[in-house]
Chain A
Amino acid sequence: MARFIERHPAWALIVIIAVAVLAWLVFAIWPPGLEAAIGRKRVFLNAVLNGITLGGLYFLVASGFTLIFGLMRNVNLAHGSLYLFGGYIGYAISTWTGSWILSFIVAFVAVALVGVILQLAVFRRMEGQDLRQTMVTIGLSIVFADLMLWVFGGDFYQVQTPSWLIGPVQLPLLTAIKSSGEPVYLQYPLVRLVIFAASVVIGIAMWLALNRTRIGMIVRAGVDDRDILAATGVRIQLVFVLVFALGAGLAGIAGVVGGTFQSLSPGEDTRFLLASLVVVIVGGMGSIPGAALGAVIIGLAEQLGSVYIPTYAIVVTFLIMVLVLALRPQGLLARR
């Protein structure tokens, strides 16, 4: 952090000002002039919170994607299909057993198994042929999409939110002060907050696992130089399988999360594939903190964009990607 400020004082200043403005917008009571200019504070706060929680979901999808890419140099364009598959599995389990938590576990295990099969049956056979692997994942995504359409049809599904998470919760954020002087606090759905907290926990756990454990050390070494790692006697294929399983499983969990606060239908796979592509391009390929930063930026841009400039919302997301590519092609938090 201090080094960043030393090396890029201008950028650091811009970032600090942006954060300060955002903090003021979130915590202060808006003067009437501002409300007249850009609308109610409640709308803004809702958009910000929606953006951050959506960022949590994007992080879950994109972290698996970036982990797999970082270690294996394999752009898994079937990642969106894994997400949707996880969502459908979660839906099936939660309607069958009625347990929300169980649906997460089953989705994780099932999608991780698919990941293991993919790694063993497909990617191991064409190691080092990036382009061919990518083409294969495209083919797989078509096949998966059609198989899922076959089984689940074109309907919309929504995973049932458990009763203890239904309903809004009052946040200590002022939206306005009534004429009687009574403060109005923001109401926000509890389930989104819980899911966001869970994705933060998962992110921190991943960071700790990567930076503080032996397995994490092996994975990081593999990201830096796969061949030398294999030469030191690490069973690299086993590491590949584990990482692929973890990345796929995260996509599966994300599917259940997405199915809870949005819905599941054919086409969602492409949407989340696009989201993870953009998040990873913005944040930096192969970097977990980069995925977190990118996810929050893209989530915020998408939600604020759809509130304030509805017909051009996607352009904002896209412009961010263009800007990052123009200024820092390797992504915001990539090392190289």
Chain B
Amino acid sequence: MSLLQSTQFRPDPSANATRRALLRAWPELQNPAAWLVALILVIMPLIANGFFLIEIFATTLILGVIALSLMFLAGYGGMVSLMQLTIAGFAGYMVAVFGMSGNANISLGWPWWLATPMALALATLFGTLGGALAVRTEGIYTIMITLAIGAAFYYFTNQNWAIFNGHTGINTVATPHFWGVDWRSDIAFYYVTLGVAAICYFAVQYVSRAPFGLALQGVRDNPRRMAALGFNPNAHRIAAYAFAAFIAALGGVLQVWNYRQISPGSVSVGACIDVLIIAVVGGITRPIGPFIGALIFVLLRTFALDVLIKLGLDGNRFRLLIGLGFLAIVFWSSDGVIGLWERWRRRSASSTQRSGGGRHG
């Protein structure tokens, strides 16, 4: 029997090795649940109507991408940055400023394929500079400085009329339209967001296992030791900010295409904190966490009003619900919903084991 098996495997040892290497690099490939989720996401337009497709799923994916950038910084770099939404908003503003919009006196009217890379580059630069500033201090100071950057940007967009058009913001931003497809139509836009989210997810997954990601995790755990080993902790941190800023900028571009407008309200301090809530509620140890958090957040935001009214409560207390939920998560699970799920699974696994063992004994 063993001989048979070994002959079965013999014909193609190199292919087998590559397969194992692939599986080690992407353990999701072995997880049936991951394949199921991917399948459902791909055939979603067949199941869901336009409202669910855009208002729930596309919005979830966009918020998830922005929160993913925070998860990358916080989970692998140990830096909780509250300016990820600000970077996304900056990218959105740049799309509106360089591209076409209803405010012709501000927008430069570049075509989308020029305006979008420009916006991504500028937003990445913005995030990198902010990061370079934030890494000068550590731990909780990072939160304070990034929050100050975010708040300053919010007040700046409110005050500045020359570029950001004050508190009215920029409206009717043009969306890409090529190859005969309107990429903002519901189904096309859903696939665009799904594609970007998938790329970002796998990029974060990949970087976390690449030498850079491992070094970053080393810097998170013990910067002094990494410095002694010859790594430059601050350079790694700034590079992490740059990578995260690019992801956040992608999310920001998608967001401005989704709403077709951007105003200071989209970069308010509350919205910055929402991104933190999404990442923390989902769990900041794995890249899937932010997407779970975003789904919970979007569902709550969309349906809390109706549910609260149906329960005879004041429907405007949605933020109270979010805040209390966030507090509960922070209090009882340091690892968000993923942590709760894992703890529950471990407990049920150990209890079945115990009951099984009891039967044998």
Q: A residues engaging B (CB < 8 A)?
A: 73, 75, 77, 130-132, 134-136, 138-140, 142-143, 145-147, 150, 270, 273-274, 277-278, 280-281, 285, 310-315, 317-318, 321-322, 325-326, 329
Contact = CB atoms under 8 A, between A and B. Distances in A.
Contact of B137 (A77, A278, A317, A325): A325
Interface stretch (B104-112, B206-214, B239-247, B313-321): B313-321
Given A143-B320, A329-B136, 11 more contacts: A135-B330, A140-B323, A140-B327, A146-B320, A274-B147, A274-B148, A274-B155, A314-B152, A314-B156, A315-B152, A322-B133
Given A138-B273, A150-B317, A274-B152, A132 B334 contact: yes
Given A146-B317, A274-B148, A134 B155 contact: no
Contacts of B151: 270, 273-274, 277
6 contacts: A138-B326, A139-B324, A277-B147, A277-B151, A285-B141, A326-B133
Contacts of B148: 274, 277-278, 281, 318, 321
Contacts of B140: 73, 75, 130-131, 134
Contacts of A136: 327, 330-331
B66 to A, nearest CB: 17
Nearest to B149: A318
Contact of B80 (A131, A270, A318): A131
A145 B316 CA distance: 13
Interface stretch (B49-57, B158-166, B181-189, B304-312): B158-166
A310 B159 contact: yes
A143 B141 CA distance: 23
A146 B162 contact: no
A249 B159 CA distance: 32
Chain B contact residues: helix, strand, loop or mixed: helix
B143 interface: yes
B326 A281 contact: no
A143 B330 contact: no
Interface residues of B, number: 40
Contact of B323 (A139, A270, A274): A139
Contacts of B139: 130-131
B249 interface: no
Contacts of A146: 317, 319-320, 323
5 A-B pairs closest in CB distance: A142-B323, A139-B327, A143-B323, A274-B151, A146-B320
A312 B160 contact: yes
A317 to B, nearest CB: 7
Interface of B: 80, 133, 136-137, 139-141, 143-145, 147-149, 151-152, 155-156, 159-162, 269-270, 273, 276-277, 280, 314, 316-317, 319-320, 322-324, 326-327, 330-331, 334
Contacts of B160: 311-312
A160 B38 CA distance: 61
Nearest to A143: B323
Contacts of A278: 148
A312 B323 contact: no
Contact of B144 (A75, A140, A322): A75
A147 B161 CA distance: 33
Nearest to B325: A139
B12 to A, nearest CB: 49
Nearest to A126: B331
Contacts of A130: 139-140
Nearest to A313: B159
Nearest to B143: A134
Contacts of B133: 322, 325-326
Given A138-B276, A142-B322, A146-B319, A312 B159 contact: yes
B144 A139 contact: no
Nearest to A278: B148
Contacts of A318: 148-149, 152, 156
B273 A142 contact: yes
B330 A132 contact: yes
A317 B323 contact: no
Contacts of B314: 150
B221 to A, nearest CB: 14
Residue of B159, B276, B316, B334 with most chain A CB atoms under a 10 A cut-off = B159
A325 B273 CA distance: 23
Contacts of B155: 274, 314
Nearest to B323: A142
Nearest to B328: A139
Nearest to B164: A311
Contacts of A131: 80, 139-140, 143
B359 to A, nearest CB: 40
Residue of A143, A150, A281, A313 with most chain B CB atoms under a 10 A cut-off = A143
B144 A281 contact: yes
Contacts of A77: 143, 147
Given A75-B143, A135-B280, A329-B136, A147 B331 contact: no
A303 to B, nearest CB: 14
A131 B330 CA distance: 10
A270 B269 contact: yes
A132 to B, nearest CB: 6
Residue of B136, B141, B148 with most chain A CB atoms under a 10 A cut-off = B148
A139 B330 CA distance: 9
